[in-house]
Structure 1
Amino acid sequence: MTQPQTAAALAGLRVIEMGQLIAGPFCGKTLGEFGAEVIKIEPPGAGDPLRNWRLLKNGTSVWWQVQSRNKQSVAIDLRQKEGQDLARRLIAEADVLIENFRPGTLEGWGMSPEELHRLNPGLIIARISGYGQTGPYRDLPGFGVIGEAMGGLRHLTAEPGRVPVRVGVSIGDTLAALHAVIGILTALYHRRVHGGAGQVIDVALHEAVFNVMESLLPEYSAFGAVREAAGSALPGIAPSNAYLCQDGWVLVAGNGDSIFKRLMGTIGRNDLGEAADLADNAGRVARVAEIDAAIGAWTQQRTVQATLDALSAARVPAGKVYTAKDIAEDPHYRARDMILQQPTRDGYTVDVPGIVPKLSVTPGTVRASAPHVGDDTEAVLRGMGLSEADIATLRAKEIIQ
């Protein structure tokens, strides 16, 4: 029996995205994957700078193909009053506005939250910035890397005594984007279920990072303990570390009490597995250097695959350090639709990440490839009631593209 097709979870939700680069657009991307109509306003000409970030194919970043799928591009010059007027007309009919400009930018365009709520009382305004819309640092320029440092993450991402390193991706931006998504969905629920009005969601990059820093602050508050960089280990949890094999590294998480016994039996160290003082985590933490040395001595005699096979047979959580090549070739990624083949508007197909989270009834989808600058300007403006003559005049004034 054919199941009836269910509408996308966010179908009917209209989102105006005025952000650029990572944080704001990742928020819009996530909403778009679950059915929201996302209209991206970007400057005529070059458009969002992300179009030119990292590796380019046919003149456009392949990153762009992921970040802007399911979006419409409307190219409007927001530096001009007529462009600002167009944006206000779009926002007046929207459910959500996303922006990640420096605080005060919207206000300078005559689009403060108060002014926008007069136009559209139910509007949800998500504002992502380096330090938030208030506080002594609000006007300082902030990027994800600075948020990661201020949020406490950079201090921990290093080998002891060595320079703090970045995670390798712009994790501060994406964490802020995901917190903005949570805020938007919460505000929409409040508006729908409780009859609440629109509201402003204020997300600071450093606060989004700080929010996932686990016990960092409580440990300092209670004990004066400052958690320090520990390389690949997880301080206070043992054993959990990266161990060198003959041809690479393996991560092993043997910190459960029963798991630890199985791990020690697998590496031929039942003496450690049966030791009374190692029966719980506190005892293992006290002897972590000895335990790590024993595991490392065993892994160094084996290849990565042989190590993983042995630990899998013993039901010990372990995994190799994946590269992009490993991900692309992994059958589990493919089986869970986490690698999708996405056509582009430049005529080629590229492998891109699938959609997270996975919903059983209203899963996310890729409905449209990433647009060129201004691909949808005319269609969106016609939908606002502008005539062909109006559009031609705006284009002649270089207010739109």
Structure 2
Amino acid sequence: MRDGPLTGLRVIDASTILAGPLCCQILGDFGADVIKIEHPVAGDSMRGHGHAKDGVPLWWKEISRNKRTVGLKLSAPEGADLLLRLAATADVLVENFRPGTLERWGIGPEQLHEVNPGLVLVRISGFGQQGPYAHRPGFGTLAEAMSGFAHLTGAPDGPPTLPAFGLADSICGIAASSAAMVALWARERNGGKGQVVDLSLLEPIMMAVGPGPTVYDQLGVIQQRHGNRSSNNAPRNTYRTRDGDWVAVSTSAQTIAERVLRLVGHPEVVDEPWFASGRDRAQHADLLDDLVGGWIAERTRDEVMRAFEEAGAAVAPVYSARDIVADEHVRATGMVVEVPDPDLGDMLMHNVLWRMSDTPGRIRFTGRPRGPTPTIFSSTSSAARPRPSPNCVPGRSWPDGRPTNLRIAVTTTSTTTTGTSPSTGTASLLAAVRAGVRTYDLGRRLTIGMPQSPNHPPFWHALPRRHGDMVRPDGGSAANDIITMGTHVGTHIDAFAHVSQDGQLLDGSDAGAAGRGGRFAELGAHTIAPMVRRGVLLDVPAALGRPDGCAPGYEITPEDLTAAVERQGTPVQPGDVVLVRSGWGRLFDHEDRTRFVGHASGVPGVGAAGATWLADQGAHAVGADTIAFECLRPGAGHSSLPAHRVLLVERGVYIIETMALEELAADGVHEFLFVLSPLAIFGATGSPVRPLAVVAGA
């Protein structure tokens, strides 16, 4: 079976909710090879949108059909490098990051067109790439409000009304598919040169709402809400039938309006002078609604439908999803079709958007599980930017089919081997343990009154049952505990859901919407995989010659971190966990618990520049011996957290705080096996942890 007119076209879908994925769905439906890029840890936000069956997201099955998937962390240098290599083989790339994000990651239009001058880059954003609002958070709801849609929707005496679905996104997604094809047609006519398509969510729905700006410009008229009525014609409304169903009537054409009034038994109204135009009929909507609505209310829906059809008048039932799938016309014309799915069996979904007589589209497969996550193996210096391995693991759904020098080794676990069999590797690991290892406990003891951030619920522990409260017949007794605490108290790890910036989380999703229901299903603590990784301690005070530790409020810079690397000879490699010692941890057990919190004095730590440096090295997670990881200025507290923004929102790097690093530093241990497992607290923004550093030798 032919795969459609766009067979041979390669599209990279680097977008998320909802316009971009819909655009790419349409292109894929008509044969394009669509490669879906999603975050390797968080996945794509669409996986958590809408209903699920047995944990399988249903909307994802449709919006991501005909798409192969791969996990790439675009904010990391190696992820950006891989995207550039993939873009070199593509025709279209669709993205909807906030303007400036791709440029900040080094994969903006300049870099993309350098590797592929013919690439069409479709950029979807709330308000476009330029203008006063370009950098505002932009979502479909805002476009529906600003376009005039909400102003015109709803009862005349009620509030402006928003749609119950992604209207602005859907209109924009369809427009984006057209824009991509227009740009590809232009490429064919101008020597193969690609271009950037700048498309906002606002403009397509603004056009769909109608000529309101023109009417206001020429007449000074501001259209108002009319409920289900129209200012252009009448009768036009929804009417309830005798059996409790609803139908919609439209009379946009004059002849249809005349047929409706004759059908309902009022031919005399047709002869009224005002009945001759839709605009004048709209001025008599009350009368016409009474006549039509009264007639319909005396009949069942089937009787109304049959009478309107016999009269040649326009009517339609108001359908629910159940009505849609049962409708004979919908079924006969293939508007919805059954598609085989490996998880759910046959499932019903919308067909391709239009029919073509010679080159029809089709649904080749449904939305897939998360794709493989490429892991880079570098044969060069560990400090150099990683390059792909010369080997490619077979059997993965990595894009193929075009000549390219892109070769990627793929793994779906948090650790990687390069050819050692599982049995041999495990034996070697156990032999190393038997030979003797030393374990450093990097976690702080949880005690009542321990120093902590004032922003989180404190730790409390009690024994509701003590020994002797209940004694078993054999003389045994048991005690039990109850604890209360915030998830960011003591040694803990921050999930990506912990911090948002301008209303958005790491994956670009709306932070408020993502947390509805009191939990974060996509970026919560339960999504943090256990870590068994190379760990590196960067002892900044030692590198700066400050045996007493960094000064209060001191910002640890990229130069300081580089100095620590050079002094120790432990370059940071992609995937490492990097622990930054400031020396502040020595105050954790101080009798004055406020000293460690450091609100008045300030606390040393990494700033935005240092956080960017750590992310640029490819760190998987970072940690520190302070309560907030950040540089906190005297008296400022947690009023600004730029390092959290960089790491958690922009670059996707986990943060571990309140660590015990003094023993590691005292023993001169700068490289080790790092082990950490967070509690799988579903939807939480963080988790208490007890991280370990393991080195050889008893």
The alignment's TM-score, normalised by the length of structure 1, stands at: 0.93
Give the whole-Å Cα distance in 1 for the aligned partners of 2:63 and 2:3.
23
Structure 1 window deviating more from structure 2 (80-89 vs 121-130): it is 80-89
Partner of 2:260: 263
The question of 1:288 aligning with 2:306 is answered no
Q: Which amino acid aligns with 2:59?
A: W
Q: Which amino acid aligns with 1:207?
A: E
The verdict on how the C-alpha distance between 1:183 and 1:320 changes in structure 2, with shifts beyond 3 A counting, is same
Contact conserved, 2:99 with 2:125, CA < 8 A, in 1? Answer: yes
Work out which of the two has the higher radius of gyration on C-alpha atoms and give 1 or 2.
Answer: 2
Describe the superposition over 1:11-40 as per-residue Cα deviations: whole angstroms up to 9, x where unpaired.
110011101121111111010000000001
Give the whole-Å Cα distance in 1 for the aligned partners of 2:353 and 2:400.
34
Q: CA deviation at 1:258?
A: 2.1
Contact conserved, 2:99 with 2:134, CA < 8 A, in 1? Answer: yes
Partner of 2:250: 253
Out of 206, 210, 213, the residue aligned to residue 217 of structure 1 is 213
Name the Cα RMSD after superposition: 2.1
The question of 1:188 aligning with 2:206 is answered no
Give the whole-Å Cα distance in 2 for the aligned partners of 1:195 and 1:297.
64
Higher RCO structure (Cα 8 Å, ≥6 apart): 1
Give the whole-Å Cα distance in 1 for the aligned partners of 2:314 and 2:68.
43
The question of 1:311 aligning with 2:308 is answered yes
Out of 390, 395, 398, the residue aligned to residue 380 of structure 1 is 398
Helix, strand or coil at the partner of 1:155: helix
Identity of matched residues, %: 36
Partner of 1:198: 194
Give the whole-Å Cα distance in 2 for the aligned partners of 1:49 and 1:114.
28
Give the whole-Å Cα distance in 2 for the aligned partners of 1:188 and 1:106.
22
How is 1:1-400 mapped onto 2 (pairs within 5 angstroms)? 8-246=4-242, 247-374=244-371, 378-380=396-398, 384-385=404-405, 390-391=409-410, 396=416
Q: Displaced runs of 4+ in structure 1, greater than 3 A?
A: 375-379, 381-388, 390-400
Q: CA deviation at 1:297?
A: 1.4
Q: Higher helix share goes to which structure?
A: 1
Helix, strand or coil at the partner of 1:154: helix
Q: Which amino acid aligns with 1:279?
A: A
The alignment's TM-score, normalised by the length of structure 2, stands at: 0.54
Q: CA deviation at 1:244?
A: 2.2
Q: CA deviation at 1:230?
A: 1.0
Contact conserved, 1:96 with 1:124, CA < 8 A, in 2? Answer: yes
Contact conserved, 1:124 with 1:200, CA < 8 A, in 2? Answer: yes
The verdict on how the C-alpha distance between 1:186 and 1:382 changes in structure 2, with shifts beyond 3 A counting, is closer
Give the whole-Å Cα distance in 2 for the aligned partners of 1:54 and 1:394.
29
Contact conserved, 1:333 with 1:339, CA < 8 A, in 2? Answer: yes
Helix, strand or coil at the partner of 2:291: helix
Give the whole-Å Cα distance in 1 for the aligned partners of 2:143 and 2:36.
25
Q: CA deviation at 1:241?
A: 1.5
Contact conserved, 2:35 with 2:399, CA < 8 A, in 1? Answer: no
Structure 1 window deviating more from structure 2 (159-168 vs 219-228): it is 159-168
Q: CA deviation at 1:51?
A: 0.7
Helix, strand or coil at the partner of 1:168: coil
Describe the superposition over 1:177-206 as per-residue Cα deviations: whole angstroms up to 9, x where unpaired.
111111110010011133251100011111
Give the whole-Å Cα distance in 2 for the aligned partners of 1:391 and 1:65.
24
Give the whole-Å Cα distance in 2 for the aligned partners of 1:28 and 1:161.
40
Contact conserved, 2:3 with 2:362, CA < 8 A, in 1? Answer: no
Structure 1 window deviating more from structure 2 (347-356 vs 87-96): it is 347-356
Gaps of 5+ in 1: none
Q: Which amino acid aligns with 1:268?
A: G
Q: Which amino acid aligns with 2:89?
A: E
Q: Which amino acid aligns with 1:349?
A: D
Give the whole-Å Cα distance in 2 for the aligned partners of 1:240 and 1:121.
51
Structure 1 window deviating more from structure 2 (129-138 vs 297-306): it is 297-306
Gaps of 5+ in 2: 375-395, 417-573, 576-617, 621-698
